[in-house]
């Protein structure tokens, strides 16, 4: 597998391609771009079409859950979406916070930011803002958000400890997050782990479920709860690009599980702005 900077470059390249395609194109081409066989849409994505605020032009079929469904967002809240893409979850969140609230999205891909801003302008939303930046170093002040959401993005971040430390920093004391992501139970075959396309497709960058939840707790969050969980089946037609028939059979027999989870956590009301033990405050 590539080093962290190479992985970020890979993700930027793939998701820049995705940003220039429609949802329909993304459904029929690997992760919305070349090479990973519709991993995201065909396997992970949930249906948004009945939600208030749903905007077809912002839905590229890249999620693995609906974090706004569980995020306990209230009118007037400040909501931050990590890896906001073309703005799909931001616009759903905006329908909840109303005119008195604010929604911010952060994405590291130029083309996604441009598409999201264009969508917001077409909708006439003045309380939805998109900023370019990395989740490991968010361009957001401390204690800013009431709620943080994210949809199938943290698995793409090489340093997940930094990502959750930044999530903790930007949340107000007493704030919380609801994040949908992909995790593992058991170990993937080496052929999948080393596949760059499957990293961009949200599979090989996933870590063990228990480790994922422990990182969240170590960042200082309380009441960490898995709100929703569903098993993900990667079809043989995708696996055969990376594994032999014997390796596929062994993988199926290994009981290794790939799961989409939506997980919740509270920042304590008495918390300082930074991650416990960081010494930054």
Sign of CA dihedral 222, 129, 94, 74: positive
Mean pLDDT to the nearest integer, 155-172: 95
Q: What is the pLDDT of residue 25?
A: 55
pTM of the model: 0.86
Report d(CA 162, CA 154) in Å as an integer: 11
> How far is residue 70's CA from residue 19's CA, in Å, rounded to a whole number?
26
Rounded Cα distance, 182 and 198, in Å? 12
**The pairing of beta strand 128-132 with beta strand 102-107:** parallel
CATH number at residue 236: 3.40.50.150
Q: For the residues 149-178, what does the mean pLDDT come to?
A: 96
Q: Are strands 128-132 and 78-82 parallel, antiparallel or unpaired?
A: unpaired
Is residue 94 a contact partner of residue 76, using CB atoms and an 8 Å limit? no
Number of structural domains (the chain) is 1
Determine, yes or no, domain membership for 252: yes
Q: Is 83 among the domain residues?
A: yes
In sequence order, which ranges of the chain are alpha helices (DSSP H)?
Answer: 4-19, 23-27, 88-97, 110-123, 160-170, 190-193, 196-200, 209-218, 236-239, 245-253
Determine the Cα–Cα distance for residues 35 and 268; give it in Å rounded to an integer.
Answer: 43
Q: How confident is the model at residue 258 (pLDDT cuts 50, 70, 90)?
A: confident
How far apart CA 155 and CA 149 sit, in angstroms, is 14
Q: Which stretch of 78-82, 148-152, 254-258, 274-278 has the lowest confidence by average pLDDT?
A: 274-278
- Angle subtended by helix axes 110-123 and 4-19, to nearest 10: 40
Residue 245 located in a structural domain: yes
Q: Give domain status of residue 72, yes or no.
A: yes
Confirm whether 268 is domain-assigned.
no
Per-residue pLDDT tens over the stretch 90-108 = 999 999 999 999 999 999 9
Query: Stretch 23-29: mean pLDDT, rounded?
Result: 51
The range of the structural domain enclosing residue 226 comes to 4-263
């Amino acid at each position: 597998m590539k080093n962290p900077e190479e992985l970020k470059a890979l993700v930027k390249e793939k998701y820049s391609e995705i940003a220039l395609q429609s949802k329909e194109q993304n459904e029929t081409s690997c992760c919305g771009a070349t090479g990973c066989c519709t991993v995201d849409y065909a396997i992970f994505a949930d249906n948004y079409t009945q939600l208030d605020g749903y905007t077809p032009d912002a839905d590229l079929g890249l999620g693995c859950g609906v974090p706004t469904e569980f995020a306990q967002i209230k009118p007037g809240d400040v909501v931050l979406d990590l890896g906001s893409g073309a703005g799909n979850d931001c616009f759903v969140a905006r329908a909840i916070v109303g005119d008195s609230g604010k929604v911010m999205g952060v994405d590291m891909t130029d083309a996604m930011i441009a598409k999201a801003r264009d969508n917001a302008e077409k909708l006439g939303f003045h309380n939805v803002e998109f900023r370019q930046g990395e989740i490991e170093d968010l361009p957001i002040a401390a204690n800013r958000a009431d709620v943080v959401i994210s949809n199938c993005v943290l698995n793409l971040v090489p340093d997940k400890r930094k990502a959750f430390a930044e999530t903790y920093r930007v949340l107000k004391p007493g704030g919380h997050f609801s994040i949908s992501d992909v995790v593992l139970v058991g170990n993937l075959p080496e052929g999948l782990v080393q596949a760059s396309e499957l990293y961009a497709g949200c599979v090989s960058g996933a870590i063990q479920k228990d480790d994922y939840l422990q990182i969240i707790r170590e960042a200082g969050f309380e009441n960490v709860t898995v709100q929703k969980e569903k098993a993900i089946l990667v079809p043989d037609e995708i696996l055969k690009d990376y594994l032999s028939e014997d390796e596929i059979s062994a993988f199926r027999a290994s009981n290794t599980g790939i799961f989409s989870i939506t997980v919740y956590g509270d920042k304590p009301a008495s918390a300082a702005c930074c991650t416990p033990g960081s010494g930054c405050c």
